[in-house]
Amino acid sequence: MAIPQSFIDELLNRTDIVEVVDQRIPLRKRGSNHTACCPFHNEKTPSFSVSQSKQIYHCFGCGAGGNAISFLMNYDKLGFTEAIEQLANAIGLPLPEENKSQSKNLNSHHLHDLLAQIAIYYQKQLRQHPDAQCAIDYLKQRGFTGAIAKTFGIGYVPEAWDSLSKAFPRQQEHLLSCGMLIKNDQGRCYDRFRNRIMFPIRNQRGKVIGFGGRIIEKGEPKYLNSPETPLFHKGSELYGLYEACQANRQLERILIVEGYLDVIALAQYGITYAVATLGTATTPEHLKKLFRYAKELVFCFDGDAAGQSAAWKALEITLPFMEDGRQVRFLILPPGHDPDSHIRTLEPEDFASQVAAAMPLEDFLFNKLRQGINLESSTGKAQLVKEVSERLNLLPKGSLKPILLEQLAKLLKLNTTTMQQMLQNRVKPEGKTKTPLQRPLITARSAPSLVRHAIAILLQYPQLLNQLAVIPDFNQTDAKGLAFLFELITLLKANPNYTTGSLLEHWRDHAYSKQLKNLATYQLNGSPQDLLQELQDALTRLMEEQQLQALWEKYQQGQLADTEKTLLYQMLKNQHVN
């Protein structure tokens, strides 16, 4: 559901972040703010602060911060839309188009209830159905206990075409909607799952959204998942994520494996942080969700050719998500083993140690790319540079790219300058190049800090804008900082009731979002009246700097009028005096 910005603005305007946080973490009033021990890292002395006036939170220990939406996304592990819905429900604010989709929402609630009842029905069949002994024997043979089966809600469906139709006789339409029944060309309905061990698939809130079934005897497919339904989208769901969150207060790392039974076997042996994709390769949606729960991901694959191929695909899909602070590793198992069989051959502590020592993404990348390349030859080096360059283009801004560049230079035994020139495929232009215009003596070194200071004041005290005597116009500038400052001023003119939290939300996905979060908590000294004067002074100086820059450029081009020359000389003189 696309949520209008106007709705988000109203939602944040009517939401008190102190109430949202206090419902989950008891806050204590300290001065103008509320404090607590940070829920996002372990600490004994409270460094987590919530500002009611700014409507933001910030931890001075780990740097976590944001508004009420960000807090729900990080604390309750919700997606953006889910966090919006939860806040809206809490204050009774109708969602956009809610009236049109009300019947759909009600239907979704009913489907959740129905799937929960089906899960209970399958578990009951495992305990009571006379044909379930084959399923019980299989689970015992695999070494699973009754306790672990209960934790994951394992069940059984008998060999019958109409077991669900009989168990839920008045729910045929809904059984079709949630994918549990199939209608053939003749219009007859029959059970999708038959004679299988059943695994309920839960979302992060613990609600059953679908099922996976493993055939007990010979037959295909060995594993069968629910189809795409209004509740179940296999490209964004992960088996075992709910159970992992239940078993761990805080997930330090998540192990991604390929099968249901791998997740369950690992959990039984104490590795309670494993999840599995649902019959599909890792997707961007999977990664977005996983990185909300943990900063370190470890992909675990079989050692055969298929496992190696899957590992490489996982690496390539992961590269765009490698922001600073995130870590990805790869654990390739011995040939002939999957996680289920491998952990049974050694002590759980040894398996955990292997996970912790798994190969870092950058090592796996270079090991894979250099295969079959002769690095002693120039063509081989050029080939590796080309391969690495293609992957570097996928990375976001951050420290990983220069680390990979340095590693590549060492591998090729080249100095960094030569390697970078090869990487960027630079071609030197013929003839004399025109150097950029420079104006020594008039480039104010303080300009960047002035911009940051002005932005910090407006972020933290947006109401000061209306108290300014003069608001400069930076609309014509190409300088990124000034252009953004003008955009901020324009936004506040149109939205005088915006809080700091509203501003951070407006630029949630902006390239400057991280810098803005830092500026929102940057320590400003002085009273609001002092800051008003500082803001006015900073804006005035920046306006003069822009005017000086424009005059200097015209001077370099020989286009200054006499009156402009006089003004330029006076401004230069004043700058020298100051």
426 pLDDT more than 50: no
Query: What's the sign of the alpha-carbon dihedral 349, 351, 355, 357?
Result: positive
Nearest to 271 by CA among 298, 308, 302, 291: 298
**What is the structure's pLDDT at 330?**
97
Q: Write down the CATH superfamily of domain 101-225.
A: DNA primase, catalytic core, N-terminal domain (3.90.980.10)
Q: How confident is the model at residue 436 (pLDDT cuts 50, 70, 90)?
A: very low
Q: How confident is the model at residue 67 (pLDDT cuts 50, 70, 90)?
A: very high
- Which is it for strands 56-59 and 48-51: parallel, antiparallel or unpaired? antiparallel
What's the CATH number of domain 5-91, 3.40.50.150, 3.40.50.10140, 3.40.50.1000, 3.90.580.10?
A: 3.90.580.10
**What is the structure's pLDDT at 446?**
44
pTM score of the predicted model: 0.65
Q: How many CB atoms lie within 10 A of CB 462?
A: 21
Edge to edge, the sheet with strand 253-257 lists: 238-239, 274-277, 253-257, 296-301, 327-332, 359-360
Domain 447-577 part of CATH 1.20.1730.10: no
Express each pLDDT in 497-506 by its tens digit. 899 999 999 8
H helix or E strand, kind and range, residue 208: strand 208-215
Output the average pLDDT for the chain.
Answer: 85
**What is the structure's pLDDT at 441?**
39
- Which is it for strands 28-30 and 238-239: parallel, antiparallel or unpaired? unpaired
Q: How confident is the model at residue 418 (pLDDT cuts 50, 70, 90)?
A: confident
What would the mean pLDDT of 401-429 be, rounded to a whole number?
73
245 pLDDT more than 70: yes
**What is the structure's pLDDT at 538?**
85
Q: How confident is the model at residue 292 (pLDDT cuts 50, 70, 90)?
A: confident
285 pLDDT more than 80: yes
Question: Which residues belong to CATH 3.90.580.10 in the chain?
Answer: 5-91
CB 543 within 8 A of CB 433: no
Express each pLDDT in 98-139 by its tens digit. 434 444 444 667 888 999 999 999 999 999 999 999 999 999
Question: Which residues belong to CATH 3.40.1360.10 in the chain?
Answer: 238-365
Distance in angstroms (rounded) separating the CA atoms of residues 277 and 235: 8
State percent of the chain over pLDDT 90: 44
Between 58 and 563, name the one with better pLDDT.
58
Question: Which residues belong to CATH 1.10.860.10 in the chain?
Answer: 447-577
Question: Which residues belong to CATH 3.90.980.10 in the chain?
Answer: 101-225
What would the mean pLDDT of 520-532 be, rounded to a whole number?
87
- Tokens in use for 66? 């944001």
Distance in angstroms (rounded) separating the CA atoms of residues 192 and 182: 6
**What is the structure's pLDDT at 178?**
92
Q: How confident is the model at residue 551 (pLDDT cuts 50, 70, 90)?
A: confident
Distance in angstroms (rounded) separating the CA atoms of residues 351 and 359: 14
Q: If one looks up domain 238-365 in CATH, what number appears?
A: 3.40.1360.10
Q: How confident is the model at residue 175 (pLDDT cuts 50, 70, 90)?
A: very high
Query: How wide is the angle at C-alpha 185 spanned by C-alphas 184 and 188, nearest 5°?
Result: 45
